[in-house]
Structure 1
Amino acid sequence: MGKIFRERTPVGEARKLFLENISPIRESEEVPLEACAGRVLAEVVIAERNVPHYRRSAMDGYAVRASDTLGATPSNPVLLQLSENVGEGTCIWVHTGTAVPDEADAVLMVEDTVVVGDMVEARAQVYPNRNIGMVGEDVKIGDLIFEKGHFLRPCDASVLASLGFSDVRVLRKPVVTIIPTGDELVSRENTLEVPPPGMVLETNGLMAALYVEKWGGIPRCTKIVPDDPEKIADAVKASLDGDMVLICGGTSVGKRDHAPQVVESLGKLLVHGVGSVPGKPAALGVIGEVPIVCLPGYPVAGLVALYFFARPGLRKCGAIPEIPDTVLKMCLAAKLSSRIGYVSFVRVVFEGDRVRPLMGAGAGVLSSVAKADGYVLVPENVEGYEAGEEVSVFLIE
């Protein structure tokens, strides 16, 4: 493939081709429940105990024999003796979660009683098993709790804890190496001084690393690599022990843009140039079994490539279930323009119950993303939307 890309691959086609070349991770590890949220189960979980493992009171009140409350009403209460044991005509106090004595078969809510000395007026009739959580009511021995591949949430950790787990086996996280490239880049270690004209602080690597971590991977950042194809190739080769490589910058067709050609020389370049605005110069490839995403150097274009390709690639690599984006249906406060033949990533801000496109927000203006509340994806076959039209707004993570 030559340096000039004459055709740009549609975003959906490029993503499909890229994902077809990614194999999910199979290695697993044990992690404590305190660290399991956001991880993917590596094995089926079957209950080995009942929850609850005893009959427990579902209410604050009195453990009773249901037959002793027969006919009880507020106007015709039944008197029960407060005792340390449950027997005919007696009851004991129980808290929510307290074990219910074997002799009792119901719990009378405290709201349905009046205490007079050591006597309890039962003002409601209860039936057997009323207000009692039975053994195994929540989980029974042998129940399937979670399938392999389940994405664990904090509430799932609580369920596992109730079953006696302290650790759980999960798939290991994908390791993603991030290689910032560019002669114009200055390390953020030197942030106290303003770079000279023509030089900029390296920020794309930081953004990529934080998104990788947010999306379930482990970022591994290299030092800045100059615009030298041999040095970029060396950095990529040294990173192939990970699960994915993100090369930041050097993806276009200029004299200092070498990333796609390096990928092609080491493996297979699947796509160079995609039908998205911004993000056209993005490139995708695979070296051995390691997927490679070449992110454009312009920050917003790089962000778009992260969303379109790195995120789904990372999810497939880590066997992370697809999580629906947060999408709001809102009307436009102003016309939204786009370009036919390209998926347009248009940043928008909330304006009351409407959204307004951010104007003058080019691919190099990263602050436009920080100012935006969300974005609208305009399909390739649509030439923008008129003011007042309803659009789908994706919230920026």
Structure 2
Amino acid sequence: MDRIFKERMPVSQAKEKFLASIVPLTRTEDISIRDCPGRVLATHTIAPRNVPHFRRSAMDGYAMRAADTLGASPLNPVMLQLSDVVEEGTCTRIGTGQHMPEGADAVMMIEDTISMGDMIEIRAQLHPGKNVGDIGEDIRKNEILFNKGHLLRACDVGVLASLGIREVKVYCKPVVAIIPVGDDLVPLSYTELPSAGKNLESNSLMIGLYVEQWGGVPKYHNIVPEDTAQIEQAIKENIDADMLIISGGTSVGEKDFVPGVVASRGELLVHGVGLSPGKPTALGLVNGKPVVCMPGYPAAGLVALFVFGRPALRKVANAPDVPDVIVKAQLSSKVTSREGYLSYARVILDGRTAHPLMTAGAGILSSIAKSQGFVIITEHVEGYEKDSEVDVVLIE
């Protein structure tokens, strides 16, 4: 494999090309509605009955016949007898949501009445159906409640529960294999101080937590040395996963074998993107499964994970991509970027002021932890001046 990036694909083009190659999951499962928030419906959900299934009062007041209120006003009130049944000349006390009694076709708000023992002074005129909820007013039987592909929320669960629905069919969560590559890595279980040149392998845990947050199931693989055969074997062992994320071994050094292995076992769609940090990112397919090859440097890897890994995982899961949370802020100092690169400048937020932390330093993970978000600088902008109002994308 040639050891230089002959091309640097724009981020938008790389993302479009990669996502277009991904086929969403078709596996489904039936789960309890208690477990369905954040899951994606695999079928249309049809209402099995009306809600409400009875006529109900929409107000606190008195149920009565609208015809008995004809001409009623504060200056010309009508007197009705308080009763347990509704018939000509009578009314009955009713609360919001309660079943409308036989003979009643309207509800007078309590504010438009005056109680006089067992007589009620009616001070307004009603028309039939006033302040009454009809059968199926909220939901009609056989109505489509939620379409296939709907991302279920807690409020949706309330609707399902109100209809007596206890289970729903959803798409299975994608299994994402996480493969760390690097001769310099030691496992997190290592209790001694790593020797010079060695580092604890922390990327897998970070990736796995985001995979769970974005709707997937992480499958962790042991550290793989920078060796073509062993990288190929690791991919082979995880080909049953729905998606693969490989951390490290993506650049153009003598031992950066990952893109070449992906190309030999499947299709390498992209290698080298106009992303800072994150230029060495590679994207491809192996056995039809999407593969995100992110840089091993933590900050660069995290940016690549946000830009490519998250939307890829959401598409595999049949779920809409997670929208960025953006706040407006004013820069306390100038931020610069590399022309031709989509740059992610880390900033610290102090109220509505954004203090730039750094735009470089791909290996400095603490710069992510210290910052609250990114200012994204487009490819054709050299940066933003001090006091500029910018969008800050919050780090999840």
The equivalent residue for 1:307 is 306
Tell me, which stretches of 5 or more residues in structure 1 are unaligned? none
Deviations 1:241-290 (A, max 9, x none): 01110011121222332222221222222222211110111111111101
Deviations 1:329-356 (A, max 9, x none): 4332221100101110111222332322
In the TM superposition, what is the alpha-carbon distance from 1:20 to its structure 2 partner? 2.3
Counterpart residue type for residue 335 of structure 2: L
How many Å separate the matches in 2 of 1:34 and 1:374? Answer: 33
Deviates more, 1:45-54 or 1:194-203: 194-203
Note the 1:143-162 alignment, pairs <5 A.
143-162=143-162
How many Å separate the matches in 2 of 1:360 and 1:324? Answer: 23
Deviates more, 1:293-302 or 1:359-368: 359-368
Is the 8 Å Cα contact of residues 65 and 103 (structure 1) preserved in structure 2? yes
Is the 8 Å Cα contact of residues 333 and 351 (structure 1) preserved in structure 2? no
Secondary structure of the 1:155 match is helix
Counterpart residue type for residue 333 of structure 1: S
How many Å separate the matches in 2 of 1:197 and 1:119? Answer: 92
Residue 90 (structure 1) aligned with residue 90 (structure 2): yes
Note the 1:1-397 alignment, pairs <5 A.
1-74=1-74, 76-190=76-190, 193-359=192-358, 362-397=361-396
Counterpart residue type for residue 22 of structure 1: I
How many Å separate the matches in 1 of 2:355 and 2:120? Answer: 65
Tell me, which stretches of 5 or more residues in structure 2 are unaligned? none
Is the 8 Å Cα contact of residues 336 and 359 (structure 2) preserved in structure 1? no
Counterpart residue type for residue 248 of structure 1: S
Is the 8 Å Cα contact of residues 3 and 261 (structure 1) preserved in structure 2? no
Secondary structure of the 1:188 match is coil
The 3 A distance-change label for structure 1 pair 360 and 394 is closer
Q: Give the TM-score normalised by structure 2.
A: 0.93
Is the 8 Å Cα contact of residues 40 and 151 (structure 2) preserved in structure 1? yes
Which consecutive segments of 4 or more residues in structure 1 shift more than 6 A? none
Deviations 1:152-190 (A, max 9, x none): 222222222233311111111211111122232232234
How many Å separate the matches in 2 of 1:190 and 1:124? Answer: 80
How many Å separate the matches in 1 of 2:244 and 2:292? Answer: 6
How many Å separate the matches in 2 of 1:183 and 1:112? Answer: 81
Secondary structure of the 1:358 match is strand
Is the 8 Å Cα contact of residues 280 and 295 (structure 2) preserved in structure 1? yes
Counterpart residue type for residue 197 of structure 1: A
Is the 8 Å Cα contact of residues 28 and 171 (structure 2) preserved in structure 1? yes
RMSD: 2.0
Counterpart residue type for residue 113 of structure 1: T
How many Å separate the matches in 2 of 1:92 and 1:324? Answer: 51
How many Å separate the matches in 2 of 1:318 and 1:210? Answer: 16
Secondary structure of the 1:145 match is strand
Deviations 1:102-151 (A, max 9, x none): 31111122233333333333333332211111111111123232222222
Is the 8 Å Cα contact of residues 47 and 163 (structure 2) preserved in structure 1? yes
